[in-house]
Structure 1
Amino acid sequence: VFLSFQGYAGGDESRMLRRRLSDTSAKIGVGPNRAAVATSMLRKYGAQIGVAILDDGMQHLSLLRDVDIVMINALNPWGNKHLIPRGPMREPLTALTRAHILLIHHANLVSQPQLKTILSTVHDNGATCPVFFSKLVPSHIFQVNQPMHRLPLHVLHGIIVLCVSAIGCPDAFIHSVQEVFPPFLFLSLCLQTFVLVLPILKYGTMVVVRL
Protein backbone atom coordinates (compact mmCIF):
# COMPACT_ATOMS: atom_id res chain seq x y z
CA VAL A 1 0.00 0.00 0.00
CA PHE A 2 1.23 3.49 -0.88
CA LEU A 3 -0.18 6.55 0.91
CA SER A 4 0.29 10.00 -0.63
CA PHE A 5 -0.02 13.33 1.21
CA GLN A 6 0.20 16.94 0.09
CA GLY A 7 2.48 17.80 2.99
CA TYR A 8 0.86 20.95 4.37
CA ALA A 9 2.58 22.86 7.18
CA GLY A 10 4.51 20.51 9.47
CA GLY A 11 3.31 17.27 7.91
CA ASP A 12 2.05 15.89 11.21
CA GLU A 13 -0.35 13.44 9.53
CA SER A 14 2.39 11.70 7.57
CA ARG A 15 4.66 11.50 10.62
CA MET A 16 1.85 10.02 12.71
CA LEU A 17 1.08 7.39 10.06
CA ARG A 18 4.75 6.48 9.67
CA ARG A 19 4.85 5.82 13.39
CA ARG A 20 1.56 3.90 13.47
CA LEU A 21 2.39 1.83 10.37
CA SER A 22 6.04 1.19 11.14
CA ASP A 23 5.40 -2.53 11.60
CA THR A 24 3.65 -2.89 8.22
CA SER A 25 4.77 -2.79 4.59
CA ALA A 26 2.94 0.49 3.87
CA LYS A 27 4.94 3.22 2.12
CA ILE A 28 4.23 6.92 2.62
CA GLY A 29 5.09 9.69 0.17
CA VAL A 30 4.80 13.43 0.80
CA GLY A 31 5.00 16.29 -1.69
CA PRO A 32 2.99 18.93 -3.56
CA ASN A 33 3.41 17.14 -6.92
CA ARG A 34 1.39 13.98 -6.39
CA ALA A 35 2.27 12.48 -9.78
CA ALA A 36 6.01 12.96 -9.19
CA VAL A 37 5.82 11.44 -5.70
CA ALA A 38 3.84 8.43 -6.95
CA THR A 39 6.19 7.89 -9.89
CA SER A 40 9.20 7.99 -7.58
CA MET A 41 7.65 5.49 -5.16
CA LEU A 42 6.66 3.12 -7.96
CA ARG A 43 10.18 3.19 -9.38
CA LYS A 44 11.63 2.49 -5.95
CA TYR A 45 9.23 -0.23 -4.78
CA GLY A 46 7.64 -1.48 -8.01
CA ALA A 47 5.45 -4.55 -7.59
CA GLN A 48 5.46 -4.20 -3.79
CA ILE A 49 2.80 -1.51 -4.22
CA GLY A 50 -0.59 -2.98 -5.04
CA VAL A 51 -2.80 -0.08 -3.94
CA ALA A 52 -2.17 3.69 -3.93
CA ILE A 53 -4.26 5.85 -1.58
CA LEU A 54 -4.30 9.60 -2.20
CA ASP A 55 -5.28 11.89 0.68
CA ASP A 56 -7.47 14.86 -0.33
CA GLY A 57 -7.51 13.62 -3.91
CA MET A 58 -11.11 14.31 -4.96
CA GLN A 59 -10.16 17.59 -6.66
CA HIS A 60 -6.89 16.31 -8.12
CA LEU A 61 -8.53 15.84 -11.52
CA SER A 62 -5.27 15.45 -13.47
CA LEU A 63 -4.62 12.04 -11.90
CA LEU A 64 -6.37 8.88 -13.03
CA ARG A 65 -8.08 6.95 -10.29
CA ASP A 66 -10.13 3.77 -9.89
CA VAL A 67 -12.25 4.79 -6.90
CA ASP A 68 -13.21 8.06 -5.21
CA ILE A 69 -14.05 7.61 -1.51
CA VAL A 70 -15.59 10.66 0.18
CA MET A 71 -15.62 10.88 3.97
CA ILE A 72 -18.31 13.06 5.57
CA ASN A 73 -17.98 14.25 9.16
CA ALA A 74 -21.42 13.61 10.66
CA LEU A 75 -20.81 16.24 13.35
CA ASN A 76 -20.36 18.99 10.76
CA PRO A 77 -21.09 17.55 7.32
CA TRP A 78 -21.34 20.66 5.15
CA GLY A 79 -20.27 23.60 7.31
CA ASN A 80 -22.24 26.63 6.14
CA LYS A 81 -22.66 25.01 2.68
CA HIS A 82 -20.52 27.70 1.05
CA LEU A 83 -17.36 27.22 -1.00
CA ILE A 84 -13.89 28.44 -0.05
CA PRO A 85 -13.22 31.22 1.01
CA ARG A 86 -16.76 31.93 2.24
CA GLY A 87 -17.07 28.44 3.71
CA PRO A 88 -15.17 25.14 4.08
CA MET A 89 -16.41 23.34 0.97
CA ARG A 90 -14.08 22.77 -1.98
CA GLU A 91 -16.86 21.85 -4.42
CA PRO A 92 -20.66 22.07 -4.56
CA LEU A 93 -22.62 19.17 -3.07
CA THR A 94 -23.44 18.01 -6.60
CA ALA A 95 -19.81 16.84 -6.83
CA LEU A 96 -20.86 13.88 -4.66
CA THR A 97 -22.16 12.29 -7.87
CA ARG A 98 -18.51 11.55 -8.75
CA ALA A 99 -17.99 9.51 -5.59
CA HIS A 100 -17.92 5.72 -5.77
CA ILE A 101 -18.25 5.30 -1.99
CA LEU A 102 -19.48 7.65 0.75
CA LEU A 103 -18.32 7.14 4.34
CA ILE A 104 -20.19 8.99 7.09
CA HIS A 105 -17.73 9.21 9.97
CA HIS A 106 -18.57 9.74 13.67
CA ALA A 107 -22.00 8.30 12.92
CA ASN A 108 -22.28 7.14 16.53
CA LEU A 109 -22.06 10.72 17.83
CA VAL A 110 -25.20 12.05 16.15
CA SER A 111 -28.87 11.09 16.33
CA GLN A 112 -30.73 8.95 13.82
CA PRO A 113 -32.71 11.99 12.57
CA GLN A 114 -29.41 13.78 11.92
CA LEU A 115 -28.10 10.80 9.95
CA LYS A 116 -31.31 10.72 7.93
CA THR A 117 -30.89 14.42 7.13
CA ILE A 118 -27.35 13.81 5.90
CA LEU A 119 -28.51 10.91 3.73
CA SER A 120 -31.36 13.00 2.34
CA THR A 121 -28.92 15.76 1.38
CA VAL A 122 -26.66 13.21 -0.30
CA HIS A 123 -29.48 11.71 -2.34
CA ASP A 124 -31.06 15.09 -3.13
CA ASN A 125 -27.80 16.10 -4.78
CA GLY A 126 -27.77 13.07 -7.06
CA ALA A 127 -25.39 10.67 -5.32
CA THR A 128 -26.35 7.03 -5.85
CA CYS A 129 -23.22 5.23 -4.60
CA PRO A 130 -23.07 2.93 -1.54
CA VAL A 131 -22.99 4.69 1.85
CA PHE A 132 -21.16 3.29 4.87
CA PHE A 133 -20.94 4.45 8.49
CA SER A 134 -17.92 4.53 10.78
CA LYS A 135 -16.92 5.54 14.28
CA LEU A 136 -13.73 6.28 16.18
CA VAL A 137 -13.02 4.02 19.16
CA PRO A 138 -9.96 4.79 21.35
CA SER A 139 -7.89 1.66 21.93
CA HIS A 140 -4.91 2.91 23.96
CA ILE A 141 -2.81 5.90 24.93
CA PHE A 142 0.92 6.57 24.80
CA GLN A 143 3.42 8.90 26.40
CA VAL A 144 4.68 11.68 24.15
CA ASN A 145 8.31 10.63 24.65
CA GLN A 146 7.51 6.94 24.08
CA PRO A 147 4.99 6.85 21.20
CA MET A 148 5.54 3.16 20.47
CA HIS A 149 4.82 2.07 24.04
CA ARG A 150 1.07 1.52 24.29
CA LEU A 151 -0.74 1.93 27.59
CA PRO A 152 -4.23 0.57 28.35
CA LEU A 153 -6.97 3.15 28.81
CA HIS A 154 -7.69 2.12 32.38
CA VAL A 155 -4.34 3.45 33.65
CA LEU A 156 -5.92 6.92 33.77
CA HIS A 157 -8.97 5.96 35.80
CA GLY A 158 -9.18 8.13 38.89
CA ILE A 159 -6.64 10.62 37.53
CA ILE A 160 -7.48 14.20 36.56
CA VAL A 161 -6.74 14.45 32.84
CA LEU A 162 -5.92 17.68 31.03
CA CYS A 163 -6.58 17.36 27.29
CA VAL A 164 -4.89 19.71 24.84
CA SER A 165 -6.09 19.72 21.25
CA ALA A 166 -5.13 21.67 18.13
CA ILE A 167 -7.39 19.90 15.62
CA GLY A 168 -9.79 21.92 13.49
CA CYS A 169 -12.98 20.16 14.58
CA PRO A 170 -12.43 18.91 18.15
CA ASP A 171 -16.02 17.83 18.88
CA ALA A 172 -15.35 14.13 18.26
CA PHE A 173 -12.24 14.29 20.44
CA ILE A 174 -14.26 15.84 23.26
CA HIS A 175 -16.92 13.12 22.99
CA SER A 176 -14.28 10.37 23.10
CA VAL A 177 -12.61 11.85 26.15
CA GLN A 178 -15.93 12.23 27.93
CA GLU A 179 -16.67 8.54 27.39
CA VAL A 180 -13.26 7.17 28.34
CA PHE A 181 -11.68 9.58 30.82
CA PRO A 182 -14.24 11.26 33.08
CA PRO A 183 -13.70 13.64 34.80
CA PHE A 184 -11.54 15.84 32.59
CA LEU A 185 -10.69 19.42 31.67
CA PHE A 186 -10.65 20.35 27.98
CA LEU A 187 -8.62 23.28 26.66
CA SER A 188 -7.99 24.37 23.09
CA LEU A 189 -4.35 24.82 22.14
CA CYS A 190 -3.47 28.52 22.52
CA LEU A 191 -1.24 30.80 24.57
CA GLN A 192 -3.77 30.80 27.39
CA THR A 193 -3.54 27.01 27.55
CA PHE A 194 0.14 27.04 28.49
CA VAL A 195 -0.44 29.71 31.13
CA LEU A 196 -3.01 27.40 32.75
CA VAL A 197 -0.97 24.22 32.33
CA LEU A 198 2.19 25.39 34.08
CA PRO A 199 0.69 25.77 37.60
CA ILE A 200 -0.97 22.36 37.33
CA LEU A 201 2.31 20.66 36.41
CA LYS A 202 3.82 21.58 39.79
CA TYR A 203 1.39 19.35 41.65
CA GLY A 204 1.88 16.21 39.56
CA THR A 205 -1.86 15.61 39.11
CA MET A 206 -2.01 16.08 35.36
CA VAL A 207 -1.55 13.71 32.45
CA VAL A 208 -1.55 15.03 28.88
CA VAL A 209 -3.24 12.59 26.52
CA ARG A 210 -3.13 12.50 22.75
CA LEU A 211 -5.55 10.05 21.10
Structure 2
Amino acid sequence: MKALEKAWYSGAKWPLLLWPVEVVYRYLARKDQAKKRAQQRALPVPVIVVGNVSVGGTGKSPMVSMLCRVLQHHGWHPGVISRGYGGKKLSGPVAVTAESDAADVGDEPVMLAAQTDSPVVVDQDRYRAARALLDTTFFQKNFPGHTACNLIISDDGLQHLSLPRDIEWVIVDASRGLGNGHCLPVGPLREPAQRLKEVDLVLANGSNCPLDIAGVQAHPMKLSPRYWRNLRTGETFSAGRPPFKTSQRRPAFAMAGIGNPERFFQTLEELELHIERHPFPDHHIYKDHEVPDGRVVLMTAKDAVKCRSWSEETYWALDVEARIKPDLIETLHHQLLTVLKRKHHG
Protein backbone atom coordinates (compact mmCIF):
# COMPACT_ATOMS: atom_id res chain seq x y z
CA MET A 1 0.00 0.00 0.00
CA LYS A 2 2.84 2.42 0.80
CA ALA A 3 4.37 1.87 -2.64
CA LEU A 4 1.03 2.56 -4.29
CA GLU A 5 0.45 5.70 -2.23
CA LYS A 6 3.93 6.97 -3.12
CA ALA A 7 3.19 6.36 -6.79
CA TRP A 8 -0.01 8.42 -6.63
CA TYR A 9 1.95 11.54 -5.71
CA SER A 10 5.21 10.99 -7.61
CA GLY A 11 3.94 10.92 -11.20
CA ALA A 12 4.63 7.18 -11.62
CA LYS A 13 2.83 5.59 -14.58
CA TRP A 14 2.53 1.99 -13.40
CA PRO A 15 -0.70 2.57 -11.38
CA LEU A 16 -2.41 3.08 -14.78
CA LEU A 17 -2.24 -0.69 -15.14
CA LEU A 18 -5.07 -0.71 -12.60
CA TRP A 19 -7.29 1.50 -14.78
CA PRO A 20 -9.94 -1.24 -15.39
CA VAL A 21 -10.39 -1.52 -11.63
CA GLU A 22 -10.83 2.26 -11.40
CA VAL A 23 -13.60 2.11 -14.00
CA VAL A 24 -15.41 -0.54 -11.97
CA TYR A 25 -14.87 1.41 -8.75
CA ARG A 26 -16.32 4.61 -10.22
CA TYR A 27 -19.34 2.76 -11.63
CA LEU A 28 -20.11 1.06 -8.32
CA ALA A 29 -19.52 4.30 -6.39
CA ARG A 30 -21.98 6.22 -8.61
CA LYS A 31 -24.58 3.49 -8.19
CA ASP A 32 -24.14 3.42 -4.43
CA GLN A 33 -24.26 7.20 -4.12
CA ALA A 34 -27.47 7.43 -6.16
CA LYS A 35 -29.05 4.83 -3.87
CA LYS A 36 -27.96 6.71 -0.75
CA ARG A 37 -29.20 10.05 -2.07
CA ALA A 38 -32.61 8.49 -2.62
CA GLN A 39 -32.62 7.32 1.01
CA GLN A 40 -31.92 10.75 2.50
CA ARG A 41 -34.38 11.90 5.15
CA ALA A 42 -34.36 15.50 6.31
CA LEU A 43 -33.13 16.54 9.75
CA PRO A 44 -34.63 19.48 11.66
CA VAL A 45 -31.29 21.22 12.30
CA PRO A 46 -28.48 22.31 9.98
CA VAL A 47 -25.85 19.67 9.13
CA ILE A 48 -22.26 20.49 8.18
CA VAL A 49 -20.06 17.77 6.69
CA VAL A 50 -16.30 18.28 6.93
CA GLY A 51 -14.71 15.77 4.57
CA ASN A 52 -12.25 15.13 1.78
CA VAL A 53 -12.21 13.57 -1.67
CA SER A 54 -8.95 11.67 -1.18
CA VAL A 55 -7.78 8.93 1.14
CA GLY A 56 -5.47 9.83 3.99
CA GLY A 57 -5.42 12.62 6.53
CA THR A 58 -6.04 16.21 5.52
CA GLY A 59 -6.86 17.87 8.86
CA LYS A 60 -10.61 17.24 9.12
CA SER A 61 -10.78 16.60 12.87
CA PRO A 62 -8.87 19.77 13.87
CA MET A 63 -11.25 21.71 11.63
CA VAL A 64 -14.28 20.12 13.31
CA SER A 65 -12.80 20.98 16.71
CA MET A 66 -12.25 24.59 15.70
CA LEU A 67 -15.75 24.93 14.22
CA CYS A 68 -17.30 23.64 17.41
CA ARG A 69 -15.46 26.20 19.51
CA VAL A 70 -16.01 29.26 17.32
CA LEU A 71 -19.65 28.47 16.53
CA GLN A 72 -20.35 28.08 20.25
CA HIS A 73 -19.25 31.72 20.59
CA HIS A 74 -21.81 32.59 17.92
CA GLY A 75 -24.58 31.04 20.01
CA TRP A 76 -24.75 27.62 18.38
CA HIS A 77 -24.90 24.33 20.29
CA PRO A 78 -23.13 21.87 17.98
CA GLY A 79 -23.10 18.12 18.31
CA VAL A 80 -20.53 15.97 16.52
CA ILE A 81 -21.15 12.68 14.75
CA SER A 82 -18.51 10.24 13.55
CA ARG A 83 -18.26 6.72 12.26
CA GLY A 84 -15.68 5.96 14.94
CA TYR A 85 -12.82 4.69 12.76
CA GLY A 86 -10.43 2.50 14.69
CA GLY A 87 -13.03 1.50 17.26
CA LYS A 88 -15.18 -1.60 17.51
CA LYS A 89 -18.05 -2.18 15.10
CA LEU A 90 -21.07 -0.85 16.93
CA SER A 91 -24.66 -2.01 16.55
CA GLY A 92 -26.13 1.37 17.45
CA PRO A 93 -25.34 4.94 18.48
CA VAL A 94 -22.86 5.35 21.35
CA ALA A 95 -22.23 8.55 23.28
CA VAL A 96 -18.58 9.58 23.58
CA THR A 97 -16.93 11.56 26.36
CA ALA A 98 -13.34 12.56 27.05
CA GLU A 99 -13.06 9.48 29.28
CA SER A 100 -14.31 6.98 26.67
CA ASP A 101 -12.03 4.14 25.54
CA ALA A 102 -10.65 4.87 22.07
CA ALA A 103 -10.46 1.12 21.41
CA ASP A 104 -14.26 1.04 21.64
CA VAL A 105 -15.35 4.25 19.93
CA GLY A 106 -12.31 5.42 17.92
CA ASP A 107 -9.54 7.88 18.67
CA GLU A 108 -10.81 10.99 16.88
CA PRO A 109 -14.23 11.05 18.63
CA VAL A 110 -12.57 10.86 22.07
CA MET A 111 -10.16 13.62 21.08
CA LEU A 112 -13.03 15.81 19.85
CA ALA A 113 -15.05 15.24 23.02
CA ALA A 114 -12.05 16.38 25.08
CA GLN A 115 -11.23 19.39 22.92
CA THR A 116 -14.71 20.80 22.36
CA ASP A 117 -16.90 19.86 25.32
CA SER A 118 -19.54 19.18 22.67
CA PRO A 119 -21.79 16.09 22.64
CA VAL A 120 -20.24 13.43 20.40
CA VAL A 121 -21.97 10.30 19.07
CA VAL A 122 -20.47 7.51 16.97
CA ASP A 123 -22.33 5.03 14.80
CA GLN A 124 -21.64 3.15 11.57
CA ASP A 125 -24.87 4.81 10.37
CA ARG A 126 -24.24 8.55 10.53
CA TYR A 127 -27.92 9.40 10.07
CA ARG A 128 -28.76 7.24 13.09
CA ALA A 129 -26.01 9.03 15.05
CA ALA A 130 -27.57 12.38 14.15
CA ARG A 131 -31.04 11.19 15.19
CA ALA A 132 -29.61 10.05 18.53
CA LEU A 133 -28.19 13.52 19.18
CA LEU A 134 -31.64 14.97 18.52
CA ASP A 135 -33.50 12.38 20.62
CA THR A 136 -34.40 14.00 23.94
CA THR A 137 -34.27 10.80 25.99
CA PHE A 138 -30.90 9.67 24.58
CA PHE A 139 -29.44 13.16 24.89
CA GLN A 140 -30.49 13.83 28.48
CA LYS A 141 -29.31 10.39 29.58
CA ASN A 142 -25.88 10.66 28.00
CA PHE A 143 -25.14 14.40 28.05
CA PRO A 144 -26.60 15.82 31.26
CA GLY A 145 -25.92 19.50 31.66
CA HIS A 146 -25.61 20.14 27.91
CA THR A 147 -28.01 22.29 25.94
CA ALA A 148 -29.90 20.48 23.18
CA CYS A 149 -28.10 20.57 19.82
CA ASN A 150 -29.25 22.99 17.15
CA LEU A 151 -26.43 22.09 14.75
CA ILE A 152 -24.74 18.84 13.73
CA ILE A 153 -21.17 18.61 12.43
CA SER A 154 -20.06 15.38 10.77
CA ASP A 155 -16.37 14.54 11.10
CA ASP A 156 -15.75 13.02 7.66
CA GLY A 157 -18.66 11.46 5.80
CA LEU A 158 -18.62 13.38 2.51
CA GLN A 159 -19.29 10.12 0.66
CA HIS A 160 -21.90 8.86 3.17
CA LEU A 161 -24.78 10.37 1.24
CA SER A 162 -27.51 8.69 3.29
CA LEU A 163 -26.74 11.51 5.74
CA PRO A 164 -28.52 14.69 4.57
CA ARG A 165 -26.34 17.77 4.63
CA ASP A 166 -26.84 21.47 4.18
CA ILE A 167 -23.21 22.59 3.95
CA GLU A 168 -20.16 20.68 2.74
CA TRP A 169 -16.59 21.71 3.47
CA VAL A 170 -13.76 19.79 1.83
CA ILE A 171 -10.13 19.89 2.96
CA VAL A 172 -7.26 19.13 0.59
CA ASP A 173 -3.62 18.74 1.55
CA ALA A 174 -1.94 21.73 -0.12
CA SER A 175 1.39 19.97 -0.65
CA ARG A 176 -0.02 16.75 -2.11
CA GLY A 177 -3.10 18.13 -3.84
CA LEU A 178 -5.16 15.48 -5.61
CA GLY A 179 -2.13 13.40 -6.58
CA ASN A 180 -2.43 12.07 -10.13
CA GLY A 181 -6.13 13.00 -10.24
CA HIS A 182 -7.39 9.43 -10.59
CA CYS A 183 -9.82 7.54 -8.41
CA LEU A 184 -8.92 4.42 -6.45
CA PRO A 185 -6.88 2.35 -6.97
CA VAL A 186 -5.09 4.22 -9.79
CA GLY A 187 -5.05 7.38 -7.69
CA PRO A 188 -5.96 8.62 -4.22
CA LEU A 189 -9.43 9.99 -4.98
CA ARG A 190 -12.58 8.56 -3.42
CA GLU A 191 -14.62 10.36 -6.05
CA PRO A 192 -13.78 12.41 -9.17
CA ALA A 193 -12.14 15.82 -8.80
CA GLN A 194 -15.20 17.59 -10.24
CA ARG A 195 -16.94 16.85 -6.93
CA LEU A 196 -15.08 19.88 -5.57
CA LYS A 197 -17.26 22.10 -7.77
CA GLU A 198 -20.36 20.89 -5.93
CA VAL A 199 -19.31 21.65 -2.36
CA ASP A 200 -19.69 24.91 -0.47
CA LEU A 201 -16.05 25.49 0.44
CA VAL A 202 -12.66 23.99 -0.38
CA LEU A 203 -9.75 24.53 2.02
CA ALA A 204 -6.07 23.89 1.27
CA ASN A 205 -4.36 22.72 4.45
CA GLY A 206 -0.80 24.03 4.58
CA SER A 207 -1.30 26.97 2.23
CA ASN A 208 -0.79 30.66 2.99
CA CYS A 209 -2.73 31.85 -0.02
CA PRO A 210 -5.65 30.71 -2.19
CA LEU A 211 -4.89 27.85 -4.55
CA ASP A 212 -6.50 26.60 -7.72
CA ILE A 213 -7.35 22.93 -7.24
CA ALA A 214 -9.10 21.23 -10.15
CA GLY A 215 -10.51 24.58 -11.26
CA VAL A 216 -11.84 25.50 -7.81
CA GLN A 217 -10.45 28.23 -5.57
CA ALA A 218 -9.26 26.65 -2.33
CA HIS A 219 -8.95 28.96 0.66
CA PRO A 220 -5.83 28.82 2.82
CA MET A 221 -5.84 26.81 6.05
CA LYS A 222 -3.13 26.17 8.62
CA LEU A 223 -2.74 23.79 11.52
CA SER A 224 -0.96 25.83 14.17
CA PRO A 225 0.47 24.41 17.41
CA ARG A 226 -1.65 25.46 20.43
CA TYR A 227 0.15 24.01 23.43
CA TRP A 228 2.07 21.07 24.87
CA ARG A 229 0.06 18.86 27.20
CA ASN A 230 1.56 16.38 29.65
CA LEU A 231 -0.24 13.06 29.41
CA ARG A 232 0.33 12.17 33.06
CA THR A 233 -0.39 15.47 34.80
CA GLY A 234 -2.54 17.33 32.28
CA GLU A 235 -0.37 20.44 32.60
CA THR A 236 -0.13 22.63 29.50
CA PHE A 237 2.69 24.85 28.23
CA SER A 238 3.13 27.22 25.32
CA ALA A 239 3.91 25.42 22.06
CA GLY A 240 6.84 27.74 21.44
CA ARG A 241 8.39 27.12 24.86
CA PRO A 242 8.38 23.37 25.48
CA PRO A 243 9.02 22.22 29.07
CA PHE A 244 11.45 19.54 27.90
CA LYS A 245 14.78 19.49 26.09
CA THR A 246 15.93 17.67 22.98
CA SER A 247 19.32 17.53 21.30
CA GLN A 248 21.04 15.69 18.49
CA ARG A 249 22.48 13.30 21.06
CA ARG A 250 19.15 12.89 22.84
CA PRO A 251 16.37 13.34 20.26
CA ALA A 252 12.76 12.95 21.27
CA PHE A 253 10.85 9.81 20.26
CA ALA A 254 8.28 11.36 17.90
CA MET A 255 5.32 9.11 17.04
CA ALA A 256 2.30 9.67 14.86
CA GLY A 257 -0.50 7.30 13.93
CA ILE A 258 -2.34 9.70 11.62
CA GLY A 259 -3.14 9.84 7.94
CA ASN A 260 -0.09 11.97 7.11
CA PRO A 261 2.56 11.51 9.86
CA GLU A 262 5.12 13.59 7.97
CA ARG A 263 3.08 16.74 8.60
CA PHE A 264 3.41 16.23 12.35
CA PHE A 265 7.15 15.57 12.14
CA GLN A 266 7.65 18.70 10.04
CA THR A 267 5.77 20.75 12.64
CA LEU A 268 8.10 19.48 15.37
CA GLU A 269 11.16 20.41 13.32
CA GLU A 270 9.70 23.87 12.66
CA LEU A 271 9.58 24.19 16.45
CA GLU A 272 13.35 23.50 16.35
CA LEU A 273 13.09 20.16 18.14
CA HIS A 274 15.45 17.25 17.55
CA ILE A 275 13.36 14.18 16.85
CA GLU A 276 13.53 10.55 15.86
CA ARG A 277 10.65 9.77 13.48
CA HIS A 278 8.35 6.83 14.26
CA PRO A 279 5.32 6.74 11.93
CA PHE A 280 2.52 4.26 12.68
CA PRO A 281 -0.58 3.29 10.68
CA ASP A 282 -3.56 5.62 10.93
CA HIS A 283 -5.73 4.87 14.01
CA HIS A 284 -3.03 2.55 15.39
CA ILE A 285 -3.83 1.17 18.86
CA TYR A 286 -0.58 1.43 20.79
CA LYS A 287 0.85 -1.07 23.22
CA ASP A 288 3.14 0.20 25.97
CA HIS A 289 6.10 -1.83 24.69
CA GLU A 290 6.01 0.17 21.44
CA VAL A 291 6.92 3.36 23.29
CA PRO A 292 10.25 3.68 25.13
CA ASP A 293 10.62 4.32 28.85
CA GLY A 294 12.61 7.22 30.20
CA ARG A 295 12.71 9.25 26.98
CA VAL A 296 10.89 12.37 25.90
CA VAL A 297 7.99 11.09 23.78
CA LEU A 298 6.07 13.47 21.53
CA MET A 299 2.75 12.61 19.91
CA THR A 300 -0.41 14.06 18.42
CA ALA A 301 -3.57 14.68 20.43
CA LYS A 302 -5.16 11.84 18.46
CA ASP A 303 -2.44 9.43 19.61
CA ALA A 304 -2.58 10.69 23.19
CA VAL A 305 -6.08 9.35 23.90
CA LYS A 306 -4.73 5.83 23.31
CA CYS A 307 -1.65 6.16 25.50
CA ARG A 308 -2.87 8.06 28.55
CA SER A 309 -3.64 5.01 30.74
CA TRP A 310 0.02 3.93 30.80
CA SER A 311 1.76 7.25 30.13
CA GLU A 312 4.83 8.60 31.88
CA GLU A 313 5.66 12.17 32.86
CA THR A 314 7.97 12.40 29.84
CA TYR A 315 5.05 11.88 27.41
CA TRP A 316 3.77 15.04 25.71
CA ALA A 317 0.96 15.70 23.23
CA LEU A 318 1.00 18.66 20.88
CA ASP A 319 -2.49 20.09 20.48
CA VAL A 320 -2.97 21.96 17.21
CA GLU A 321 -5.61 24.38 16.01
CA ALA A 322 -7.03 24.86 12.53
CA ARG A 323 -6.88 28.46 11.36
CA ILE A 324 -8.75 30.04 8.47
CA LYS A 325 -9.79 33.54 7.53
CA PRO A 326 -12.36 34.94 10.02
CA ASP A 327 -14.70 36.04 7.23
CA LEU A 328 -15.23 32.38 6.30
CA ILE A 329 -16.62 31.76 9.78
CA GLU A 330 -18.90 34.80 9.53
CA THR A 331 -20.18 33.59 6.17
CA LEU A 332 -20.80 30.13 7.60
CA HIS A 333 -22.67 31.58 10.59
CA HIS A 334 -25.07 33.47 8.32
CA GLN A 335 -25.51 30.45 6.05
CA LEU A 336 -26.48 28.37 9.08
CA LEU A 337 -29.00 30.99 10.22
CA THR A 338 -30.57 30.91 6.76
CA VAL A 339 -30.73 27.11 6.78
CA LEU A 340 -32.26 27.04 10.26
CA LYS A 341 -34.87 29.62 9.32
CA ARG A 342 -35.78 27.64 6.21
CA LYS A 343 -36.14 24.41 8.20
CA HIS A 344 -38.37 26.07 10.78
CA HIS A 345 -40.61 27.60 8.14
CA GLY A 346 -40.41 24.79 5.59
**Is the aligned partner of 1:150 residue 2:236?**
yes
Partner of 2:218: 131
Partner of 2:123: 31
SS at 2:187 equivalent: coil
Of 12-21 and 77-86, deviating more is: 77-86
CA 207–92 in structure 1, closer or farther in 2 if over 3 Å, else same: same
Whole-Å separation in 1 of the counterparts to 2:253 and 2:115:
24
Whole-Å separation in 2 of the counterparts to 1:197 and 1:91:
37
Task: State how 1:38-77 maps to structure 2 within 5 Å.
Answer: 38-44=130-136, 45=139, 48-77=148-177
Residue identity opposite 2:81 in structure 1: S
Whole-Å separation in 2 of the counterparts to 1:170 and 1:52:
29
Of 74-83 and 2-11, deviating more is: 74-83
- Quote how far apart the aligned CAs of 1:18 are: 1.2
Task: Give yes or no for contact 1:103–1:132 (8 Å, CA) kept in 2.
Answer: yes
Partner of 2:257: 166
Partner of 1:6: 83
Structure 2-normalised TM-score? Answer: 0.48
- Quote how far apart the aligned CAs of 1:189 are: 3.2
Task: Give yes or no for contact 2:246–2:275 (8 Å, CA) kept in 1.
Answer: no
- Quote how far apart the aligned CAs of 1:197 are: 6.0
- Quote how far apart the aligned CAs of 1:12 are: 0.5
Partner of 1:209: 298
Residue identity opposite 1:177 in structure 2: L
Partner of 2:269: 178
Residue identity opposite 2:218 in structure 1: V
Residue identity opposite 2:256 in structure 1: S
Gaps of at least 5 residues in structure 1 are none
Task: Give yes or no for contact 1:3–1:54 (8 Å, CA) kept in 2.
Answer: yes
SS at 2:133 equivalent: helix
Equivalenced residue count is 186
Residue identity opposite 1:185 in structure 2: E
Residue identity opposite 1:175 in structure 2: Q
CA 82–122 in structure 1, closer or farther in 2 if over 3 Å, else same: closer
Of 64-73 and 137-146, deviating more is: 137-146
Structure 1-normalised TM-score? Answer: 0.76
Whole-Å separation in 2 of the counterparts to 1:36 and 1:197:
37
CA 135–71 in structure 1, closer or farther in 2 if over 3 Å, else same: same
Gaps of at least 5 residues in structure 2 are 1-77, 88-105, 141-146, 282-287, 300-317, 319-346
Partner of 2:313: none
**Is the aligned partner of 1:88 residue 2:188?**
yes
SS at 1:186 equivalent: strand
Task: Give yes or no for contact 1:106–1:172 (8 Å, CA) kept in 2.
Answer: no
Residue identity opposite 1:208 in structure 2: V
Partner of 1:101: 201
Partner of 2:115: 20
- Quote how far apart the aligned CAs of 1:151 are: 2.7
CA 99–158 in structure 1, closer or farther in 2 if over 3 Å, else same: same
CA 12–196 in structure 1, closer or farther in 2 if over 3 Å, else same: closer
SS at 1:151 equivalent: strand
SS at 1:142 equivalent: strand
Whole-Å separation in 2 of the counterparts to 1:166 and 1:3:
22
Over the residues paired in the alignment, what is the CA RMSD in angstroms? 2.7
CA 150–43 in structure 1, closer or farther in 2 if over 3 Å, else same: same
CA 133–185 in structure 1, closer or farther in 2 if over 3 Å, else same: same
